[in-house]
C-alpha cells in the first residue's frame, strides 16, 4: 500500500470513528465488485443486517408507544439507499472507493447505490474487526442528529390510508365517504363528512376546513372506534 493510500485510510478511519486492527477489512469494504472478484458484497450483506438492527433497536427504545407499522416506516426512511448514500457523502467515503476503470469513468464514486452499499460494507467490517458494540457506536455516530430529530408523525400514514389498510387486512369492503354539509363564508368554510363502514356497520363523522381534512378526521374517528372494539 502506498504511503498516500495509508494516510488517506487513516483520515477516513478518524471520520468513521473506528481504528481498524485489521486494515485489510476496511480495504475490502471499499472495494466495489467492478474492481475484482474479491469485493465488498459479503461485507455489505452483513452490514445491512447490522444497520437495520441498530436502527430498529433505537426506534424501539425511542418510541415506546409507536405501532409496528410506524416503526417500520421510520426504519425504512433511515436505512433506504438515499439516506445511506448521504451519510457516506458526509464521511467522504467515495474518495476512497476502489473501482474498476469503467465505474471510475462513469462517476461511480458519486453514485448513490455504490456509496450506500460501501457504507453498509464498512459497518460489516467494523463488526468483524471489533464486535457489535463498536459497530453500533459507529453507526449511531454516523446518523448523528437524524436520530434525535425523528418523530413518528413525520412518516406516519394519514388516517384514510391506515383505515383502508385496516379494512383490507380483514377482508372488509372499503369505506364510503359522503359530504353532509358545508357551513360558513367562502373564506372560512367548514366541511362535515361521514365515513360509512359495512362491517361492523358504523358511521363516523369528521369536520375540517376542506373536504379532504374532513374525510381524514372521519377516518380517524372510525379507526378509533374500530380499534377500541378490537375489530
Q: Interior CA angle at 43 toward 42 and 44, to 5°?
A: 90
SS3 of 197, please?
Answer: strand
Q: How many CA atoms lie within 13 A of 214 on its CB side?
A: 20
Report how far residue 217's alpha carbon sits from residue 7's, in angstroms, rounded to the nearest whole number: 59
Report how far residue 162's alpha carbon sits from residue 69's, in angstroms, rounded to the nearest whole number: 10
Report how far residue 17's alpha carbon sits from residue 34's, in angstroms, rounded to the nearest whole number: 27
Q: Interior CA angle at 171 toward 168 and 176, to 5°?
A: 60
Return the active site residues.
Answer: 48, 120
Q: Let me know: does 159 contact 175? Beta carbons within 8 Å.
A: no
- 132-143 vs 81-90: helix crossing angle, rounded to 10: 90
Amino acid at each position: 500500500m502506498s504511503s498516500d493510500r495509508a494516510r488517506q485510510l487513516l483520515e477516513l478511519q478518524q471520520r468513521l470513528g473506528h481504528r481498524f486492527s485489521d486494515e485489510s477489512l476496511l480495504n475490502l469494504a471499499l472495494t466495489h465488485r467492478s474492481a475484482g472478484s474479491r469485493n465488498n458484497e459479503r461485507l455489505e450483506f452483513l452490514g445491512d443486517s447490522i444497520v437495520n438492527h441498530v436502527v430498529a433497536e433505537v426506534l424501539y427504545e425511542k418510541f415506546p408507544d409507536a405501532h409496528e407499522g410506524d416503526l417500520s416506516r421510520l426504519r425504512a426512511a433511515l436505512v433506504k439507499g438515499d439516506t445511506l448514500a448521504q451519510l457516506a457523502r458526509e464521511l467522504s467515503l467515495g474518495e476512497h472507493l476502489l473501482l474498476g476503470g469503467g465505474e471510475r469513468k462513469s462517476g461511480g464514486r458519486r453514485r448513490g447505490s455504490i456509496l450506500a452499499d460501501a457504507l453498509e460494507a464498512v459497518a460489516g467490517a467494523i463488526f468483524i474487526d471489533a464486535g457489535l458494540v463498536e459497530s453500533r457506536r459507529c453507526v449511531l455516530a454516523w446518523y448523528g442528529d437524524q436520530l434525535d430529530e425523528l418523530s413518528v408523525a413525520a412518516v406516519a400514514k394519514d388516517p384514510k390510508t391506515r383505515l383502508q389498510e385496516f379494512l383490507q387486512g380483514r377482508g372488509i369492503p372499503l369505506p364510503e365517504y359522503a359530504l353532509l354539509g358545508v357551513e360558513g363564508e367562502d373564506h372560512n368554510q367548514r366541511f362535515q363528512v361521514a365515513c360509512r363502514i359495512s362491517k361492523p356497520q358504523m358511521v363516523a363523522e369528521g369536520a375540517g376546513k376542506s373536504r379532504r381534512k374532513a374525510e381524514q378526521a372521519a377516518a380517524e374517528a372510525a379507526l378509533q372506534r374500530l380499534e377500541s372494539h378490537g375489530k
